[in-house]
Structures are given as structure tokens and as C-alpha cells.
Amino acid sequence: MVMGNRAPNKLEWRINVRNGTSEILQPESGLVHRIWSWLKGLLGEFMLKIWNFLEKARNIAVAEPKKVIHCLKVGVTLTIVSLFYYMRPLYEGVGGNAMWAIMTVVVVFEYTVGATLYKCINRAIATFLAGSLGVGVHWAASHSGDKLEPIILGISVFLLASAATFSRFIPSVKARFDYGVLIFILTFSLVSVSGYRVDKLIDVASQRLSTIAIGASLCVLICMLFYPIWAGKELHNLIHRNLEKLADALDGCIAEYFTDSSAGDSCKKIGGYKCVLNSKAAEDSMAGFARWEPAHGRFNFRHPWKQYLKVGASLRSCAYCIETLDGCLNSEIKAPEPLRRHLSDACITLSSSASFLLKELATTVKTMRKSSEIDFSIGEMQFAVLKLENAMKSLPNHLVATPSSTSDRDAKAEPIRKTTTPSSVMEILPLATLVSMLKETAARIKEIADEVNELAKLADFKPPNTKKASQSQSSNQVDEPSNNEERTKGLG
């Protein structure tokens, strides 16, 4: 390398060329160019981020147009409320307090009708209560002398704010009146303190209340009349979608294990149970809001929303089991082929009858119509459990038979060869786990069915559509229509 005749303290980029010497790589341009390209890169990165963000927003809008409609509704409501400021006659009627109408709309307008009603009702009641209390305290303070007045007001603000803030930690208050308590503190402080300056306190308070009422009722009207999104219906949909997801996951999980297929589509289906695992928070909040909603669609005012939470809890409990099952199936060394083949039919029968039951439950919830097939399906599933147990019991004999190519299953008299060597137990292990987990899953699905039946009773679902039920029953069990009745009698 030719280095000697150069200034040593200058940074250079060199490249080796073919004839053995090296060439200095000249920077293409000066500082300005570098800064420019750096800025260009930064700008490009920024544009890319913006683009990705817009792409994400577009995907959400396409997937859930309801959300776009909600946004338009908020925009329309806010624009209408602004009329209170623009139009002179209204302005003089409502006064400078029109600001409170805008604030109410921004704060109160929520995605679902239930949430909007919850906030409106809480806001209205809390404002009224805190306003009256504030006026009372202010009256008491103003009659106790100039020196005592600020002290009484200060102490009352301190005590009420502390107590109200503490009440927000109590679960029953938090679930129903969290927002109301916040507004209570706010209004009480404003009214009791502003009373020190403003003489016409009651006038101001009533004006403010009327503005809030105008804003709130506008919100409720627009929220309920144009494409209403009911928290109750969302909860209802969530529950029956989760039932379907569990059915798909269970089916996919077992099918994948026994058929060795791992197509992307089935993987996606199996992953559905993961949504079920984390749906508690969504269910709780929706059930909380649904309580505030009036009768809508097929739901009465006193629809048993709490029972949906119980169904949801039993769904999650089943999802835990499927999660573990999925984990065990993927992590275990697979059982030898003949063993798997022996149990494959029984396992697939059980998983498909269980997932059929889950789908039937999903349909029951979805259509809000009792199904005559549920009891039958439960019987079917429990029969499949028995069949699986029998298949498991016949396993060792089968195991003995496998070395010889003929499958003489009832060779009981034959002296047992090295069947029970240590390795064979370890070979049974994954299958034993599978069987136990399937049994446990079936037991938990039975619990889901019980909760759904309870829901059907509480919510007074329509009686089953007997004609359709008998049709689908005969089409589902074409192969053995004669002994179905017998089996359900014996097991259900």
C-alpha cells in the first residue's frame, strides 16, 4: 500500500484495484451534498413512516367501517353544537356557557351507545348533585363571616375531594360511577369556589346544567339514531365469535397432530384461541356499558349481561386448556405411528363432536334460539370420550400386535412380549397426555354448554325450530340414524 507520501492525519477511503495498487475513493461531493443526502434519507424515512401509518389507518377503516361512521358522527355532532356559538339568538339564550356544550360533546361521545349513556347519565347526575351541594356549602360559608369563609370552603373541598377520590378505588363504584365521581369533584370545586366571586351562583349553575343537558341529549340522539353501535350487541357478537374460534382451534389442533398438515390456513385457525385468552377486559367493559342501554333489537332492558361474563369465563377456562394442549402437542416427541393411528379415529371423533357442540352453542347464542341438538351433542361428545377411553384401554394389546403385520387385536391369550419395557411407557406418554387433555377439554366444553343453557333460560331464548333441527339432525348423522336415540338416552 502506498501510504508514505500522504498527509497521515487525513481520513481516506481506499479500494484495491486489479493491478495490485490501491486507489483513493474521492468523496463525491462536499459537506453540503452529504447533509443534503442525510436530510433526504431522513425525509424518506419520515415519509415512509407516515405512509405506513396511513396504510394502517386504511386497513382499520376497511376492516371496521363502523369506526369510520362513529368518527363522522362525532364530527357532525360537534359541528351542530358549534351552531350555539355561531347563531346570535341561540348565543344570547345560552350565554357564554355554550362552551360547556362543546366540552360535553367532546368528552361524552363514545363509540358505543352504552358508554355514551353511561357518561351522559353520570355527568348529568353528578353535576346536579355536586352543584346543589356546592351551592349549599357556599351558602353556609357566606353566612359565617369573611374570615371563616375561605377556611370552610377549603376544608369542604379537601374532604369531599379526598373521599370522592377514594371511592373510585372501590370496585363497585369504579364499575358504575367512575366518571360520575370525577365530574362530582370537578363541579363541586368549581361551584363552591367560584361562588366566592360570582353572585348569581344559581343562575350560572342552572345555565351550565341546561347547556350540558343540550350537549348530552344531542350526543345521545345522534349516537342512538344513526347507525347505533350497541355495547350489548358487540358483547353478544364477541361471545359467539369466540365460541366459533374455540371450535376451529380445537378441530385444527387435533387435525394437525394426526394428519401432519401445517398449512398456513389451519395455523391461523388454531391461533384463534389466543384472542379468547385476552378478551376479559373487553368483555367486562362491554357488559358494564350494556347495562345502561335501553331495549334494542332482540335485547330487553334487563337482558342478563352478567351471564355473558360467565359464559366468557368458561370460554377462557377452555381456552387455557386448548393452549396447553397445543403446547404439549408441539413440544412432545411424537408418539410412534402405529399408536397414533390406533387412537387417531377416536381422537378425531371426539374433537369433531366437541367442536360441533361448540359451533351449535355459537349458533344458539347467535340466533338466540334454543337448539334441540345441544343435549344430543353433549351425549355424542361424552360417548366419544368413552370411546376414546376404550381405545386407550385396548392400546397395550394393540401395541403387542404391532410387531407382527397382521392386526389381531384380541390376541389376549398370547404371552405378552417385551411390551412393558421402559421405552413403551414413554411412547404412550404423549398420547396419554393428549387423551387426558381432550377429556379435560370436553369437561370444560360441557361447562360452557351449561352456562349457555343458563343464558338461554335467563334471556328467554326462542324455543327450538323443531323442523329445521330434525332435518339437520338427520343430515348430520346419516351413517347411524337408528341408534342415536339409544345412545343419548344412555349418556345424556
What is the footprint of its own copies within residues 434-463 (CB under 8 A)? 435-437, 440, 443-444
Residue 356 Cβ vs its own copies, minimum distance, rounded to whole Å: 22
Residue 121 binding its own copies, by CB under 8 A: no
Residue 173 makes CB contacts below 8 A (sequence gap 6+) with: 167, 181
Q: Cell triple for residue 450?
A: 351449561
Which long-range contacts (C-beta less than 8 Å, at least 24 apart) are formed by 452-455? Answer: 452/311, 452/361, 452/364, 452/365, 452/374, 453/374, 454/307, 454/310, 455/304, 455/307, 455/308, 455/310, 455/311, 455/365
Binding mask 83-102 for its own copies (x = CB under 8 A): --xx----x-------x--x
Residue 430 Cβ vs its own copies, minimum distance, rounded to whole Å: 7
Selected binder of its own copies within 10, 17, 169, 406 (CB under 8 A): 169
Selected binder of its own copies within 362, 401, 428, 456 (CB under 8 A): 428
Residue 7 Cβ vs its own copies, minimum distance, rounded to whole Å: 41
Instruction: Give the count of residues interacting with its own copies (CB under 8 A).
Output: 93
Residue 95 Cβ vs its own copies, minimum distance, rounded to whole Å: 11
Residue 486 makes CB contacts below 8 A (sequence gap 6+) with: none
C-beta closer to its own copies: residue 6 or 67: 67
Tell me which residue of 108, 93, 349, 370 sits closest to 222, measured CA to CA: 108
Footprint of its own copies on 345-374 (CB under 8 A): none
β-strand pairing of 13-16 with 22-25: antiparallel
Footprint of its own copies on 176-205 (CB under 8 A): 182, 185-186, 189-190, 193-194, 196-197
Residue 489 binding its own copies, by CB under 8 A: no
Residue 281 Cβ vs its own copies, minimum distance, rounded to whole Å: 4
Selected binder of its own copies within 36, 38, 53, 227 (CB under 8 A): 53
C-beta closer to its own copies: residue 25 or 163: 163
Residue 76 Cβ vs its own copies, minimum distance, rounded to whole Å: 7
Residue 138 binding its own copies, by CB under 8 A: no
Footprint of its own copies on 296-335 (CB under 8 A): 316-317, 320-321, 323-325, 327-328, 331-332
Question: What is the number of residues in the chain?
Answer: 492
CB-CB contact of 319 with 273 (8 Å): yes
Residue 51 binding its own copies, by CB under 8 A: no
Lookup result for grid cell 358487540: 234
Residue 175 binding its own copies, by CB under 8 A: no
CB-CB contact of 195 with 152 (8 Å): no
C-beta closer to its own copies: residue 108 or 124: 108
Read off the DSSP letter of residue 419. G
Please report which residue ranges of 168-230 form alpha helices under DSSP H: 171-194, 201-225
CA distance linking residue 219 with residue 224, whole number of Å? 8
C-beta closer to its own copies: residue 274 or 298: 274
Output the CA–CA distances (angstroms, integers) from residue 416 to 404, 408, 421, 423, in the order listed.
13, 14, 11, 15
Residue 163 binding its own copies, by CB under 8 A: yes
Residue 300 Cβ vs its own copies, minimum distance, rounded to whole Å: 26
Residue 56 binding its own copies, by CB under 8 A: yes
Residue 227 binding its own copies, by CB under 8 A: no
Residue 233 Cβ vs its own copies, minimum distance, rounded to whole Å: 18
Read off the DSSP letter of residue 229. -
Q: Which segment (5-13, 117-125, 226-234, 425-433) binds its own copies by CB under 8 A?
A: 425-433
Read off φ and ψ for residue 369, nearest 5 degrees: -130, 125
Cβ-in-10-Å burial (0-12, 13-18, 19+) of 373 comes to: buried
Selected binder of its own copies within 67, 143, 306, 468 (CB under 8 A): 67
Residue 275 binding its own copies, by CB under 8 A: no
Query: Angle at the Cα of 360 (from 357 to 362), degrees rounded to 5?
Result: 110
